[in-house]
Amino acid sequence: MEMNIALLPGDGIGPEVIAQAVKVVKAVGKKFGHTINFEEAPVGAAAIDLTGNPYPDATHDVCLRADAVLFGAIGDPKYDNDPKAKVRPEQGLLEMRRKLGLFANVRPTFTFPSLIHKSPLKLERVEGVDFVFFRELTGGIYFGEPRGRNEQGTKAFDTNVYTKEEITRLARMGFEAAQKRRKLLTCVDKANVLATSRLWRETVQELAPEYPDVKVEYEFVDAVAMRLIQWPKAYDVLITENLFGDILTDEASVISGSMGLMPSASVGTENKLFEPIHGSYPQAAGKDIANPLATVLSAAMMFEYAFDMKAEAQAISDVVNKSLAEGIVTEDIAEGSKAYKTSEVGDWLAENL
């Protein structure tokens, strides 16, 4: 098969980790006989420097032309401490999600046998953890209007808005995923306080009879924050709104032992984007030390979700597991043994695939 992939390396360690994913994707192409074309485009602070816009139209066109987008990270410390900056790299990410219609962010948490001891949780709590969040990504308080300040600048407001339609399309993805997994769906909300959450709960309750094989649980977000740490094995598929999902998926991503390991997919009806959960990690940028595995595993998700190629995805996760077992790892997980460079890990993966 021939496939066109848009590469958006972005900021910080983005370019380094994307470069390793490209090596692995090329190796997959060779092994399985696919022609893979790449087209690169700037996003985030890198795009602001070049064009003044964190998500330029030309970059959007590259994404629209592609069958899938592989994205690194966005963010630059020079904007973080300047709340008055007019243009921010993160706006590029939000624009990209909105314009590409990426309404569902799929963030799995699973464990790696050889790394399980790195988890901040006790072994018996984390062994066998395997759940996935479906975070709504183009609605809620991230996009709701009105937002802003009063004239004096002494009062600020954001608006949380959800339509039934937005909730339904995200919830259906969750139900369908649960059907293919352990058939448990948890709707995470704050229905005891928020009107939007009550609409979430009501909508999910209405859909549930269409999926009689799926058991549905409703839990408040604060309780989920606690139970994720106490007993993460209790979960299978979780669905939630944009802001709750942002917070809980960061919490979830460290359960497995390192944030450098967890991939994600952002999907809509037309477009699909794949990215590591970790951010731009500016302290490590350009040092060739960042862990490329989350990005490499995001490429595995790309083969599975964008191209329905399970064997290709499996080949990538197998070689990642092999690299972990053999200690071909970056310094964040090396623990006293030899730490390999980002680029060395990428080379090793591509050679051993």
Binding residues for ligand IPM, per CB under 6 A?
74-75, 90, 93, 246
Instruction: Say if residue 181 carries a ligand binding annotation.
Output: no
* Catalytic status, residue 250: yes
Question: What is the smallest separation between the CB atom of 27 and Mn ion, expressed in angstroms?
Answer: 30
Q: Give the nearer residue to ligand IPM in terms of CB position, either 102 or 121.
A: 102
Q: Give the nearer residue to Mn ion in terms of CB position, either 80 or 326.
A: 80
Q: How many CB atoms lie within 10 A of CB 154?
A: 7
* Catalytic status, residue 99: no
Which single residue is written with the structure tokens 């590469």?
7
Relative to beta strand 184-189, strand 215-220 is parallel
> Taking CB within 5 to 8 Å according to partner kind, which of ligand IPM, Mn ion, none is near residue 93?
ligand IPM
Q: Give the nearer residue to Mn ion in terms of CB position, either 298 or 317.
A: 298
Which one from 23, 55, 79, 142 is the annotated catalytic residue? 142
Select the span of 154-162, 191-199, 243-251, 288-296 touching Mn ion (CB under 5 A).
243-251
Using CA atoms of 124, 128, 132, 133 in order, give the dihedral in degrees to the nearest 10: 0
Q: Which of 246, 251, 288, 344 binds Mn ion (CB under 5 A)?
A: 246
Which one from 250, 288, 322, 347 is the annotated catalytic residue? 250
Instruction: Say if residue 250 carries a ligand binding annotation.
Output: yes
Question: What is the smallest separation between the CB atom of 259 and Mn ion, expressed in angstroms?
Answer: 11
Which one from 246, 288, 322, 341 is the annotated catalytic residue? 246
> Taking CB within 5 to 8 Å according to partner kind, which of ligand IPM, Mn ion, none is near residue 39?
none
Instruction: Say if residue 147 carries a ligand binding annotation.
Output: no
Which one from 57, 61, 80, 222 is the annotated catalytic residue? 222
**Hey, what amino acid is at 56?**
P
Site string for Mn ion, 60-99 (x = CB under 5 A): ----------------------------------------
Q: List Cβ neighbours of 243 (8 Å cut-off, separation of 6 or more).
A: 140, 141, 142, 160
First to last CA, the chain: 19
Which two structure tokens, joined as six digits, stand for 112?
Answer: 């790696």
Q: Give the nearer residue to Mn ion in terms of CB position, either 136 or 312.
A: 136
Instruction: Say if residue 107 carries a ligand binding annotation.
Output: yes
Q: Give the nearer residue to ligand IPM in terms of CB position, either 91 or 196.
A: 91
Question: What is the smallest separation between the CB atom of 94 and ligand IPM, expressed in angstroms?
Answer: 6
Q: Is 251 in the site for Mn ion (CB under 5 A)?
A: no
Closest-by-Cβ residue to ligand IPM is: 90
Which two structure tokens, joined as six digits, stand for 283?
Answer: 């302290």
Question: What is the smallest separation between the CB atom of 279 and Mn ion, expressed in angstroms?
Answer: 8
Select the span of 186-194, 241-249, 281-289, 308-316 touching Mn ion (CB under 5 A).
241-249
* Catalytic status, residue 318: no
* Catalytic status, residue 82: no
Helix/strand/coil (H, E, C) string of the chain?
A: CEEEEEEEEECCCHHHHHHHHHHHHHHHHHHHCCEEEEEECCCCHHHHHHHCCCCCHHHHHHHHHCCEEEEEECCCHHHHCCCCCCCCHHHHHHHHHHHHCCCEEEEEEECCHHHHHHCCCCHHHHCCCEEEEEEECCCHHHCCCCCEECCCCCCEECCCCCCHHHHHHHHHHHHHHHHHCCCEEEEEECCCCCHHHHHHHHHHHHHHHHCCCCEEEEEEHHHHHHHHHHCHHHCCEEEECHHHHHHHHHHHHCCCCCHHHCEEEEECCCCEEEEECCCCCHHHCCCCCCCCHHHHHHHHHHHHHHHCCHHHHHHHHHHHHHHHHCCCCCHHHHCCCCCCCHHHHHHHHHHHC
* Catalytic status, residue 340: no
Instruction: Say if residue 172 carries a ligand binding annotation.
Output: no
> Taking CB within 5 to 8 Å according to partner kind, which of Mn ion, ligand IPM, none is near residue 285?
none
Q: Which residues bind Mn ion (CB under 5 A)?
A: 246
Binding residues: 97, 107, 135, 222, 246, 250
**What residues are labeled active site?**
142, 190, 222, 246, 250
Binding residues for Mg(2+): 222, 246, 250
